[in-house]
Amino acid sequence: MAVREPADGGSAGAASASREGSRPREGHPPAEGPEARTLAQRVYETLEKRILDGEWLPESKVSLRTLAISLDTSMQPVREAVGRLIDAAALRSAPGKAIRVPRLDRRTADEIWSLRFLLEGEAAARFAARKRPAEARQLYTYTKALRAMRFGADLQPTMRRMMAWNLALATGSGSPILIDIIRRLRLRYAPFVAEALAEEAPFDLEFHQFTLHMQDELVMAIEGGDADAARHLRGADLRSFQRYLYARKSWRPIA
């Protein structure tokens, strides 16, 4: 895939942050207090959203200066936000003071999915064990939205709802450590998922219906407080999705 510079969205929110005093006036050093830290966090959240929404596919490349201009801010908060994403292995440095989105190879993708089976299966089990049926039922809002779109064909809306569902499931575990690990891992696999869904292939209505039915079954297990069933169903859901994505990328079937 040719390296490209992605279109920069989300500038309105960042521009608003800039108007709150983020851009240093001429002759003055950059702010270093709470306001600067808040701006850096806002920039981070904007870049994180671009990754999770599938706006930046693997090998997408953009310069730090372009980011700063598009976000209407100085280089300092951009460098800080980018540094955090590089530390999380979500981005890599590129020549010319730029960044790029890394592409997962088969071995890394296999390892990430193995970790997802463990971590998200545990999150589902803990969610069920907490016995919060009303909280569990909130997951239906995301599957309802996904049913109203063509899964993957409407790429960014699909990614947005799917990633929100994944995070809501993790949050339901009630474990801050588990939630943090799952959040960070999403940044590693989201571009891979988006790229696989963006492959030229007919819309697969059968899989669309199957995967959403599987997620509804999982929510029912969580509602009923069945931790073992919730763990099993999340693992089965992830395994079927892994096979689907690998097939779209023409990778050999999972052993």
Starting at the edge strand found earlier in the chain, the sheet holding 98-100 runs 61-63, 98-100, 92-94
Q: Does residue 94 sit in the same domain as residue 188? A: no
* The last residue of a domain, from among 100, 122, 148: 100
Q: Does residue 130 sit in the same domain as residue 200? A: yes
* The last residue of a domain, from among 79, 100, 121: 100
The residue among 89, 88, 87, 85 whose CA lies nearest residue 67 is: 85
In a domain, 119, yes or no: yes
**Could you give the number of structural domains in the chain?**
2
Band (31; pLDDT cuts 50, 70, 90): very low
| Strand partners of residue 92 | 100
Q: Does residue 212 sit in the same domain as residue 228? A: yes
The residue type of 202 is P
In a domain, 5, yes or no: no
Q: Does residue 242 sit in the same domain as residue 167? A: yes
For the cut 80, the answer to whether the pLDDT of residue 46 exceeds it is yes
CATH number of the domain where residue 33 is located: 1.10.10.10
In a domain, 6, yes or no: no
DSSP string, 183-212: HHHHHHHHHHHHHHHHSS----HHHHHHHH
In a domain, 141, yes or no: yes
Q: Does residue 34 sit in the same domain as residue 77? A: yes
Q: Does residue 112 sit in the same domain as residue 84? A: no
In a domain, 31, yes or no: yes
Helices (H) and strands (E) in the chain, counts: 11, 3
Q: Does residue 85 sit in the same domain as residue 128? A: no
What integer pLDDT is reported at residue 21 of this predicted model?
Answer: 38
At 69-98, the pLDDT tens digits run 999 999 999 999 999 999 999 999 999 999
Q: Does residue 124 sit in the same domain as residue 226? A: yes
In a domain, 34, yes or no: yes
What integer pLDDT is reported at residue 36 of this predicted model?
Answer: 56
Q: Does residue 27 sit in the same domain as residue 96? A: yes
Buried (b) or exposed (e) across 35-73, using 16+ Cβ within 10 A?
Answer: ebeebbebbbebbbbbbbbbbbbebbbbebebbbebbbb
Q: Does residue 75 sit in the same domain as residue 173? A: no
End-to-end CA distance of the chain: give it in Å, rounded.
Answer: 27
- Tell me the average pLDDT across 215-235: 98
- Tell me the average pLDDT across 116-139: 97
Q: Does residue 199 sit in the same domain as residue 114? A: yes
Q: Does residue 116 sit in the same domain as residue 200? A: yes
What's the domain range around 94?
Answer: 11-100
Task: Give CA–CA dist 218/236, Å, rounded.
Answer: 10
Band (105; pLDDT cuts 50, 70, 90): very high
At 170-185, the pLDDT tens digits run 999 999 999 999 999 9
